[in-house]
Structure 1
């Protein structure tokens, strides 16, 4: 689960990370009022969307007076901001963050992520901030400093000092960096985060460090014990298909093709999408129906997939272990009748109660396309698309 920049800053500030003063605005008039509250002669207005690259997309601007702030805010509210990290539809702008401009002497990068290879939290830092870490890793990989944290001891003070030295910080900046690093680590650990990023972490003209931008993402599976974090969820920033699917326990990711996929198991789903590509097609989604797929759950999966109007054929690929093929087959037949489907549906069943499941499909009297292998299923789904177009 992602949250907005201002929310991440509020969280990190509670743990001891210095952040600029700012205020949230829901209208152009309120944006100007926030600037008056903050005082000063320059302010930065930022669109609050769940995406990086806002500045390059026109979502961030340095303003010198209230009229400029209101005029810029008016162009943003209600706009679909398209960045290099969004799809062509972009993300809707419904709130802005106005903060006092900072005197920037240097920009640093700081990120906390889970390193699955070492099974530890890793700090990734660089003396070159303000750009995407992916771009930095490609253009100047030697500038990246990496450090893993022992979960038994947490981030030790000597580790934090070492990282500060490697970033070229001096004097009192080192103590500030130690405080920031340990605060970010505690926030990551205590709130079940999967990513904490401060980019840029700036050195101001007076030498102080401040988090000018911040991002946090959280483990969705841990939100049952992080009620305060869960309340920060902004559904307007989510794909409605994905959020609806998640509410019903389905793992769904929308893609750009026209072959809707209903599959159990993430690995099988990835293999199925690969086979669709090899057969010359494009998957419309990733959907893992999970274990214990009751007929009702299968119907819900069909409804989720068919919410995408680009879908022209549905491919059901089930390898039953915990699942049962007869349950899935009942769900497919029920969905076809209940939803009054007319598009082609390809069904491949294997595993527990496979013979019973295939009998249900064959005896349903419906024009379902039953196949025995994954390769045949992908080929059948691709071949079924022209029939719909005709």
Structure 2
């Protein structure tokens, strides 16, 4: 029996929206809000968090660029800021200024409330840029969005949306990279999207509309949403997709593209890149959403699906510009496109060779977020819910997991009678976040059939699933999984449990402290723990990697490892300094990288968006001198003030090698690292 599409909202939803939306008819559709993404010169933009430091700087830049900003909100306050009105609430702003969109510039722990207020005021487009928004806050928001047809969400944890043609910027994109043109771009990664934009600008193509999915688990707008907009946008002649590990949005895009090419006489050319082809199985790679949940496809599978849909793939974003120029020229001459168009520009087929699926690759046994409990700790939590548990292996009827369905934007149950089988055979059952109980839900019969559980034990199965669901909500988990089987005394019991909990709920909102106190950093990789102190994400890669990497932005960091591997390099680590590299984070990054004796050369790959390349170059030079570095360093700087930054590196007198071309820089660092 199908799960209802209209969720039953729980008490945590908020009294205002419970009254407003809990009885909405099924005729309402979130898909009706897609036209709200077509921003331009006409778009009237409101700011929530208007008087904050970041919002103030952003408003000044956006106004100068040409964005039509009508004011902002500061709760309970009326007045003026930057010559624009301050409204005491979004409702008042909606009545007086009639905004078409709202840019939310508040911290992660306040973001959900700000989105909720905008939904209640029926603002057509809401753009949430904050990261570290608790997953369960966003699950709650999506349960609201799915019951209405007025408000569209972009984000959270995204650079935003920008119309280069209409000079409308809702987000924090680096404006010098953009130029009016005819390429539509949709991306998960911020830094990779900036590289993509810069590449199309250098190629003289420019951009029409750029939409960011963002790096969170639950995106308000996805690839297919953007593709539907681009299809009917006369300004968009070519389309670029920037994907990465985590979720199945790229697979959905591939299916949509297949259908689009079947039903369209002259389809627009589409190119793509997938970040994380070399990411270790089960690791969270910087972005909150850059991890693979049970049953989700890996990067190689996404690559294959897009390629088979007729998408032209590249291994680095700097190749998009030249590639799209060629495709558009062929399209204009009515010639077909080909995936062999670019020769060495394409990703290696070896990247996506079939790999044997194991339990670890399905359920993420090696996965690390800030808190992933040991089996014994997870079993103790189950005991507190009166779930029978078995120590050790008792045989298994299968795997049960409660996780997040990124396509349905809701929790889901994942079940498999054979965890070692192809992950495509796993059963995924999404259900409403407002669901109070699941043990008596009709879906339980499907689960029992999937796991081949006899009728006499089905009540016990329901109790285990209900306990998992209660833990999931009460403790703000992002994935709970265990195996189930029959113990020696005939009891239906859980074993092999692994529980993961949302770090944002603790870090940004101070919730779930008792769970996060269970973390034992002494059992983790010391360099990874040290990196956390500086806001750096560091992942030590296995093998004989001799190249240390230092990159700003998780997507760009993943792609850097992928592309260096493509050129024959062997990377020792993944390192994301965050979107804004500073001299302090650069220095700390060098220290951490150099603590690995395998490293023979360091590759610094920085795209200067909001942070200028000359500032980054100065930080690199100071850190290099302070640390008395002995390891050669290759620096690739692109973006704002790139020529000045490259000049500073070249004239420093230090063993630093400056490049703007990725391929040239990659060849240099591989030669410096020497043979493996």
Q: Same fold (TM over 0.5)?
A: yes
Which residue in 2 is equivalent to 1:9?
Answer: 379
Given that 1:325 and 1:353 are in contact with CA atoms closer than 8 Å, whether structure 2 keeps it comes out as yes
Q: Size of the alignment, in residue pairs?
A: 299
Cα deviation code 1:105-153 (max 9, x no counterpart): 863321223233333323222344xxxx3x2336xx65x4331222233
Relative to structure 1, the CA distance from residue 375 to residue 212 in structure 2 (aligned partners, 3 Å threshold; closer, same or farther) is same
Distance in 2 between residues matched to 1:361 and 1:263, nearest whole Å: 16
Q: Secondary structure at the match of 1:340?
A: coil
Distance in 2 between residues matched to 1:176 and 1:167, nearest whole Å: 13
| Unpaired stretches in structure 1, ≥5 consecutive residues | 21-43, 47-54, 56-103
Q: Secondary structure at the match of 2:372?
A: coil
Q: In the alignment, is residue 184 of structure 1 matched against residue 472 of structure 2?
A: no
Q: In the alignment, is residue 373 of structure 1 matched against residue 661 of structure 2?
A: yes
TM alignment of 1:169-318, pairs within 5 A: 169-199=453-483, 201-204=484-487, 207-224=490-507, 225-255=511-541, 256=543, 257-318=545-606
Q: Secondary structure at the match of 1:213?
A: strand
- Which of the residues 116, 122, 143 maps onto 2:406? 116
Given that 2:477 and 2:499 are in contact with CA atoms closer than 8 Å, whether structure 1 keeps it comes out as yes
Distance in 2 between residues matched to 1:247 and 1:120, nearest whole Å: 32
Distance in 1 between residues matched to 2:612 and 2:404, nearest whole Å: 35
Q: Secondary structure at the match of 2:413?
A: strand
Distance in 2 between residues matched to 1:321 and 1:15, nearest whole Å: 49
Which residue in 2 is equivalent to 1:137?
Answer: 422
Q: Secondary structure at the match of 2:398?
A: strand
Distance in 2 between residues matched to 1:285 and 1:154, nearest whole Å: 43
Relative to structure 1, the CA distance from residue 335 to residue 172 in structure 2 (aligned partners, 3 Å threshold; closer, same or farther) is same
Which residue in 2 is equivalent to 1:93?
Answer: none
Which residue in 2 is equivalent to 1:94?
Answer: none
Q: Secondary structure at the match of 1:348?
A: strand
Deviation at 1:205, TM superposition (A): 5.3
Cα deviation code 1:209-229 (max 9, x no counterpart): 211331112233333322111
Deviation at 1:372, TM superposition (A): 0.9
Given that 1:259 and 1:282 are in contact with CA atoms closer than 8 Å, whether structure 2 keeps it comes out as yes
Distance in 2 between residues matched to 1:105 and 1:374, nearest whole Å: 51
Relative to structure 1, the CA distance from residue 380 to residue 113 in structure 2 (aligned partners, 3 Å threshold; closer, same or farther) is same
Distance in 2 between residues matched to 1:323 and 1:223, nearest whole Å: 28
Given that 2:564 and 2:666 are in contact with CA atoms closer than 8 Å, whether structure 1 keeps it comes out as yes
Deviation at 1:362, TM superposition (A): 2.6
Bigger CA drift: 262-271 or 354-363?
A: 354-363
TM-score normalised by the chain length of structure 1: 0.70
Distance in 1 between residues matched to 2:549 and 2:396, nearest whole Å: 48
Relative to structure 1, the CA distance from residue 137 to residue 155 in structure 2 (aligned partners, 3 Å threshold; closer, same or farther) is farther
Distance in 1 between residues matched to 2:674 and 2:458, nearest whole Å: 64
Relative to structure 1, the CA distance from residue 324 to residue 165 in structure 2 (aligned partners, 3 Å threshold; closer, same or farther) is same
Cα deviation code 1:150-172 (max 9, x no counterpart): 22335533123442344343455
Deviation at 1:8, TM superposition (A): 0.5
Deviation at 1:312, TM superposition (A): 0.6
Given that 1:161 and 1:178 are in contact with CA atoms closer than 8 Å, whether structure 2 keeps it comes out as no
Deviation at 1:186, TM superposition (A): 1.9
Given that 2:646 and 2:659 are in contact with CA atoms closer than 8 Å, whether structure 1 keeps it comes out as no
Cα deviation code 1:225-266 (max 9, x no counterpart): 221111111223321111211232111111131111111112
The structure where strand makes up a greater share of residues is 1
Which residue in 1 is equivalent to 2:618?
Answer: 330
Q: Secondary structure at the match of 1:241?
A: helix
Q: Secondary structure at the match of 2:448?
A: helix
Q: Secondary structure at the match of 1:212?
A: strand
RMSD between aligned alpha carbons?
Answer: 2.5
Relative to structure 1, the CA distance from residue 280 to residue 145 in structure 2 (aligned partners, 3 Å threshold; closer, same or farther) is closer
Cα deviation code 1:262-303 (max 9, x no counterpart): 111122112211221222211111111112222111101111
| Unpaired stretches in structure 2, ≥5 consecutive residues | 1-370
Which residue in 1 is equivalent to 2:429?
Answer: 147
Relative to structure 1, the CA distance from residue 122 to residue 250 in structure 2 (aligned partners, 3 Å threshold; closer, same or farther) is same
Distance in 1 between residues matched to 2:601 and 2:555, nearest whole Å: 21
Distance in 1 between residues matched to 2:665 and 2:548, nearest whole Å: 12
TM alignment of 1:358-369, pairs within 5 A: 358-369=646-657
Given that 2:388 and 2:491 are in contact with CA atoms closer than 8 Å, whether structure 1 keeps it comes out as no
Given that 2:636 and 2:661 are in contact with CA atoms closer than 8 Å, whether structure 1 keeps it comes out as yes
TM-score normalised by the chain length of structure 2: 0.42
Given that 1:3 and 1:234 are in contact with CA atoms closer than 8 Å, whether structure 2 keeps it comes out as no
Relative to structure 1, the CA distance from residue 245 to residue 195 in structure 2 (aligned partners, 3 Å threshold; closer, same or farther) is same
Relative to structure 1, the CA distance from residue 322 to residue 16 in structure 2 (aligned partners, 3 Å threshold; closer, same or farther) is farther
Distance in 1 between residues matched to 2:581 and 2:433, nearest whole Å: 37
Deviation at 1:18, TM superposition (A): 2.2
